[in-house]
Amino acid sequence: MESIDPSVHIDQRSGAAEMWGKFRTLGGLGHLVDGAAPAVGFLIGYATVDAKIGVLIALVVACAVAGYRLLRGDSVKVVAISVAVVVVFSLFVGITGEGRGFYLPDLIICAAGTLAFGLTLLSGRPLSHWISRKVGLEPAAHADPQQRIRLHRRVTLAWFVFWALHLVVMVPLYVANQVVLLGSVALILGKPALVVMLAASWLWVRRSLNQHPGSHAAVAGSRA
């Protein structure tokens, strides 16, 4: 019987622990509440009365969550953005005159993400590479720049699939006006999935740097 290397299990556990730690650092648990609570409030109001009541409940819940987070000392800017997102989603109900309008901003964001990551993938300048450098995750110089580009093509492809999957699942539900089902899917594919994807991408890029070290210092050393 083929033996299993214990280091594989250790590596998997450490990877999961790192990802969970990054998920928490990114405010994943808070985003679960921020994204889910107002959306659930909207669905309850829409299903029991109408879209207007759903919007009212979503705004009340968003403000209540914001107040609680402010009392806990959370960033005013982050809390304000969370409330603003719910306000924008709610405005689309009034603009479209339909309950499904609450999810139209979601579809616009997904379409923009699919287009952005898809175009940069085709151009050979993967968007994840540019973003990682901007946030300091990716070094400005590397001993093997082509290796980094190849890595980020895969990361960018994963993000392209991530956004495209949203459209594949949600657009038919939007067109069919299946608001409750659309909202239920959005609860899963919304903020929670986004924060998980961010944490996974961070771990992916970070671990690739550890496996293939080649920072600016390595480049400088090779020239000495």
Q: What pLDDT digit, counting tens, does each position of 116-168 carry?
A: 999 999 998 999 999 999 988 888 777 778 889 999 999 999 999 999 999 99
Percentage helix, strand, coil for the chain under 3-state DSSP, each rounded to 5: 85, 0, 15
Is residue 57 classed exposed, middle or buried when 0-12, 13-18 and 19+ CB atoms within 10 A define those classes? buried
Hey, is 117 helix, strand or coil? helix
End-to-end CA distance of the chain: 50
- Say whether pLDDT at 220 is over 80: no
Question: How much of the chain exceeds pLDDT 90, in percent?
Answer: 54
Q: How far is CA 174 from the centre of its chain?
A: 21
- Say whether pLDDT at 9 is over 50: no
pTM above 0.85, yes or no: no
The residue among 206 and 181 whose pLDDT is bigger is 181
Mean pLDDT score of the chain? 83
